[in-house]
Amino acid sequence: MSQRTAEPHSAPAPQRYELWRPVIGSEDRGALERIHQELAAEWSRGPLERGDDGGAVAFEGFGFEDFGRFGKTIRAAQIAFLAIEDTPVVGMLMLGIDLARDLVDTRLGAPAPAEGTPVSFSPLESGLLHQVLNQLAERLAEVYGREGIGKLKVTRVGEQIDDLRLFAPDDCLIAFRFRVGEKGSALRLSIATSLEMIELVKKLAGASRPAPGSQAVARIVREIPVRTRVILGSWRVPIREIAVLKRGDSIVLPDGADAWLEADGVRLGRVKIGIDRRQLTVEARRGKSSRVR
Amino acid sequence: MATIEYAANVEVELSAVATTLKIPAGVLAGFGAGDRFEIELDESGPSILLVADGRPFAIASVAKLDGRLVATVTEIVSNVDREGYEPWLIRKSETAKP
Contact status, residue A170 vs residue A67, Cβ threshold 8 Å: yes
Task: Choose among A246, A276, A251, A234: nearest CA to B71.
Answer: A251
Would you give the DSSP letter of residue A185? B
Within 8 A of A244 by CB-CB distance, chain B residues are none
Query: Is residue B97 assigned to a domain?
Result: no
pLDDT tens sequence for chain B (98 residues): 556 667 778 889 899 999 888 888 888 888 888 888 898 888 888 889 999 988 889 999 988 888 788 999 999 887 665 556 677 777 777 654 43
Pairwise CB contact (< 8 Å): A276 & B46: yes
Domains of chain A, CATH where assigned: 8-208 (3.40.1550.10), 225-284 (2.30.330.10)
Out of B22, B25, B31, the one facing A284 most closely (by C-beta) is: B31
Distance in Å, alpha carbon of A281 to nearest chain B alpha carbon: 5
Q: Does A264 touch chain B (CB under 8 A)?
A: no
Would the CB atoms of A229 and B22 count as touching at under 8 Å?
Answer: no
Is B7 part of a structural domain of the chain?
A: no
pLDDT digits (tens, 9 = 90+) for A171-210: 888 999 999 888 888 888 999 999 888 888 887 766 655 6
CATH of the domain at B66: 2.30.330.10
**For residue B64, what pLDDT is reported?**
83
Number of H helices, E strands in chain A: 7, 11
Which of A224, A283, A288 is best to mutate for the B interface (most B CBs within 10 A)? A283
* A293/B contact by beta carbon, under 8 A: no
Position B1 in a domain: no
The answer to whether the Cβ–Cβ distance between B40 and A284 falls below 8 Å is no
Count structural domains, chain B. 1
The H or E element that residue A27 is part of is helix A26-45
Residue of A161, A133, A5, A166 lying closest to A70 (CA atoms) = A161
> Is the CB of residue A259 less than 8 Å away from at least one CB of chain B?
yes
Nearest by CB: A268 against B7, B28, B41 = B28
In angstroms, the CA A208 to CA A31 distance is 11
Q: In this structure, is residue B3 part of a structural domain?
A: no
Residue B84 lies in domain: 13-91
- Side-by-side strand order, sheet with B55-65: A250-253, B68-76, B55-65, B47-52, B11-24, A225-238, A259-263, A266-275, A279-284, B36-40, B89-91
List of chain A residues with pLDDT < 50? 1-12, 14, 16-19, 288-293
